[in-house]
Structure formats: structure tokens, C-alpha cells
Structure 1
């Protein structure tokens, strides 16, 4: 894939692209409700780009998270499927014919946002790592993985959010990291079912905590408190970027940030129990938070 030629945002959508964006929105609403309500404040021509990026990431994630995808007899096949999907995306961006509506929308977005192949390579590299790496020893090791699985998503969003300064890059990366760490903290049981632990092994040992027990102990509480404090530090770093965004984008990011960080509040309210059921923010609260953002100006946001 060469550097994509940007597609003018004002160019009319082809019927296949229009259908693709409709499907991307449906995928986002079904699987990523926090993102869906967070970006509801964006103008439609930018909101659809967020839906397309989510659909792209979801498609790759579904390949590596399929039941049995990482079993010894299936890993090679999963690797081939992921590589084939990556190749299809890159070839389509380069101009290969596209028949799938979702892929057509993804290609339109990648071209409109002029995203470089290096960004996609980092993302697909992280997805491939899920097939062979199930544990991370230190926070720094985990950050290495999250660069391609999370921070890069923040980078993909910048052309959509249209920051007023290049200084917004670091906060955007921090927000991507914050969102994913929240997922890791919430989804411990689900990840265990797939044979993975996305929390630093060194930190678990330091607290004497063992997620495999699947129950809340004093050691687990202290470990989780430390991870939640780290997570909130990432959100605080991301907050520095909100004043660097135009008003509509600032409202969007502030809403998504508020909704995702509420997951941490609910985990604390559940006594750090992430084993018996998935902690969620109800849809009615997501919708109400998005609606409130329409009439509340984010603190420090630009015009």
C-alpha cells in the first residue's frame, strides 16, 4: 500500500459506500455502544469515519477472538486469515475492486483521512501478537502491545477530530490507552476464557493476586485499585487534549471519556468483582450523557 490519495470529504458517496457506512454504524451500535453514543455528537460526515474505523478493528479482532482461534492446531490458519484480511484492506486502498459494502466504507475512510500504512501495520501487528502472546510481564511490555492495539486508534481518530495543534497527538494516544486499559480491567474473566491475561504479571505477583481464582480477595482489591489509579492517570493525560479540539469534537471526546471512565466507578462499586458479570454502563445513561453534552460546553474547549 502506498500513501493513500485522499478522497475529498465532499465527494458524493457511491451506493456501495453508503450501504457500508450504514452497516458500520450498526456494527458500532451493536458491539461498541460507548463509542456509538460518544460520537453521536459529531456531524454525520465525520461520525461515519469513526464507525468505519471501529468496524475495521472489530473485523480483525473477531478473527483472533474466534473460539479455538489460538489453539495449537488452529493458530497457523488464524494467522493466514488475519494476513489475508490485512492484504485485502491494503489492496483495496490501493485501488483493487471492492464488492463488500463494509470494506468499501473502510477504504473511503482510510483515503479521506489519508492514514498511512505504518499506522495500519502497527494495528495488524498487535492483532497478530494476540495469537502467540497470552501474558505480559511488566506494564512497559503491555504498553508495547497497546501501542498497536489502542494508542494507534487514537491516532486514527485525529483526522476526524481535527485538532487545532499537533500537540493533540500525545493526549489522543493516551485516550486510546485509557479506553483499552478500562477494557482489560473489566474483561478479566472474558480474557481468561480465551487463555489471555492483559494485566502485568509483575504487578499481580507484587500484590499476591491471582485472577485465575475468579474471586475477590484482599490481594485482588489492592491490585485492582492500583490498576484503576493507573487508568485514571491515563484519562487525566488525555484530558489535556480536549481544549486542543474544536467544540464539536471536544464534546464528542469528553462524552466518550466520561462514559468509559464510569466503567471504573462501577467496578469499584461492585467491590472490584469483574468475575461474575460484565460491568456495563446502561444505554439510557449513555444516551442521557450524550444529550447533556449537547448543551454543556467542555471546559477549555476551543471554538
Structure 2
């Protein structure tokens, strides 16, 4: 297989892209996305270095899109004017639907962030070349709307794991499904989709466990209230831990449980790696190993998630990457 999706009867046809972008503009767009990935996704970027040269730029384009949208949602001005971020996301969706030839109502792109225009050529080229289903992008954008106060979809608390999974369906699983056609499979892509979605969820939950304090500072809790309550943890306790920088024993027990849940997601995802094209397996094994190692760092620190950010040291990242490349 060449790693590109084959459109079969009953599946979504690839969107028709805008007329071919100027070669220089397209090359610049891919370079911009690569710089974004290198600057903001160190573990992710290291993993992509193990992918074949023809796939690597496409993965950077998908990362560049997700990161640019994330920056819209986390714009410090959004707290004062949340409608600004909602309008910007609407403009992003309109721009993509227009570029991918889905009929849309007349709209102005005045709210479109300048940075996003630098991503569009590479993203559009990637989506067209690899026949990525556009629905995964709309699902992702809806999940991002859930993070914006003022949006009808806004949520900053999640009562159950099921509710959190609904958020992660767009924020994480959809990204795994965007990547799948780029990575390629040895059989029908549909057989690899559950594992791809599980891996996206696993990465996202790891982020939530690592970033509890930062999320609290933004008024958000991405850990399910019911799971925390089972160990005697409520919002007041979380805020007190953030204030003191110390992790209460009740929260340590809750984190032990949630890390076990997270590792189970990784276990569900790992068999799917063997369904991918052989050339991309080392890169995905590396990404999986690097992210799972963050959980080890949280445990090794005594669950000191409020005192320090769990970071996998460079030497260990390189060692994990080497082991993954050898299929260990």
C-alpha cells in the first residue's frame, strides 16, 4: 500500500481542494506547520522523525491545524470577549468548507486569524491527497467550542467519564482518525479506527492528568467528578491542592485510579499499531511510549502535579524512541 486512502463505495469522497496552490506558498505552509510542531509538540515531533518523508509533512500539517485552533481557544482575550473566539472558530470552519467545496452560505472571513491562513494550503493539500474525511474536522471544532465560554456547547466540568469521552471524541479521537489515512493500514482502514480513536483518547487523558493545575487556573476541570468523588475528592480539595502545591492523599488515590484507566486505553490502542503500514509503526510506537512515560513521571514524582510539570527527560525520550524503532 502507498499509505493513501482508497475511496470505496459508500465512503466519503475526498474533498476537492482549491485550485493547486502556488508551489512556493505550499512549501512555505508545510514549513510553517513543521516549525509549529517542533516548537510546541516536542514528543510528537520526535515521533514524526521516524515516519517516511512523504508522510511527515502531512502529519505536521494536521498538527499545525490543531495547534492553531487551540491557540484561538486559549487566546487570553477570549476571557474578556468569548464571542471573539466563537466567531474565529466559525470563520475557520467556513474557510475549510469553502476550500473543500462544500456549499456554504455567504460569509466574511474577517475573523479568521492570520496564522490560520498560513496553515490552510498545507492542510488542504493533505486532506485532498490522503482522502481524509472532513467530518473529523467538524467534530474536532465542535469539541473546541465546548472550551469557549459563551458558546452554546461550552462545558468546563465533566460529571462522568462518559461525558469526558464525549468531549474527547472530538478533541482526541477525531485527531487519531484524521491521522489514520496518512499513516496507512495493511487492511481495511475501518478495522484500525477503534484503536486509532483509543490512542487519541489515551494521549488526551495523559494531558489532563499532567495539566490539572494549569487547567484549574483557567477555571476548567477535565477529570470526571464521579471518579474523583469515589476517592473523596471534590473541587474545593483540588483548589486547595493547587493553592498549597501539595497533593492530598485522597487525590493521590484518585490519580492512581485514573492513571490505571489511562493505561488501559493505551493497552486497547496498542494492537492497532500492527494494523498500520509497517513503515509507520516505529513512529507510532514511539509516540505511544513517550506519552505513556509521562504517567511514569507523575508516579515517580509522588503525584506532585501541582508542584511541577511531568516531563520525560531528553535522554529517556531518545532511549524510548530507539527501542520503539527496533520494535521492542
- Shared fold, TM over 0.5: yes
Q: Displacement, 1:284? A: 3.8
Partner of 1:107: 124
Match 2:135 to one of 118, 136, 139: 118
Corresponding residue SS for 1:244: coil
Unaligned runs of 5+ in 2: 1-11, 104-113, 149-153
State how 1:146-295 maps to structure 2 within 5 Å: 146-165=168-187, 166-209=190-233, 210-213=237-240, 214=242, 215-294=246-325
Q: Distance in 2 between matches of 1:13 and 1:251?
A: 33
Counterparts in 2 of 1:13 and 1:262: CA distance versus 1, 3 Å: farther
Give yes or no for the alignment of 1:83 onto 2:100: no
- The RMSD of aligned alpha carbons is 2.3
Contact 1:247 1:297 in 2 (8 A): no
Contact 2:15 2:134 in 1 (8 A): no
TM-score by length of 1: 0.89
Q: Displacement, 1:6? A: 6.5
Counterparts in 2 of 1:12 and 1:124: CA distance versus 1, 3 Å: closer
Number of residue pairs matched by the alignment: 290
1:57-82 C-alpha deviation (Å, 9 max, x unpaired): 1111111111242x3x4122211111
Unaligned runs of 5+ in 1: 299-303
Q: Distance in 1 between matches of 2:89 and 2:219?
A: 19
Q: Distance in 1 between matches of 2:16 and 2:299?
A: 45
1:199-250 C-alpha deviation (Å, 9 max, x unpaired): 0011122212232122211101100001000000000000111221222211
Counterparts in 2 of 1:18 and 1:287: CA distance versus 1, 3 Å: farther
Q: Distance in 2 between matches of 1:26 and 1:138?
A: 37
Q: Distance in 2 between matches of 1:284 and 1:102?
A: 32
TM-score by length of 2: 0.83
1:162-191 C-alpha deviation (Å, 9 max, x unpaired): 111332111111000000000000011111
Q: Distance in 2 between matches of 1:207 and 1:292?
A: 37
Moved more, 84-93 or 20-29: 84-93
Q: Displacement, 1:95? A: 9.5
Q: Distance in 1 between matches of 2:41 and 2:224?
A: 25
Runs of 4+ in 1 over 2 A off after TM superposition: 2-7, 92-96, 98-102, 282-294
Q: Distance in 2 between matches of 1:154 and 1:122?
A: 12
Q: Distance in 1 between matches of 2:72 and 2:275?
A: 36
Counterparts in 2 of 1:283 and 1:13: CA distance versus 1, 3 Å: farther
Contact 2:47 2:287 in 1 (8 A): yes
Q: Displacement, 1:280? A: 0.9
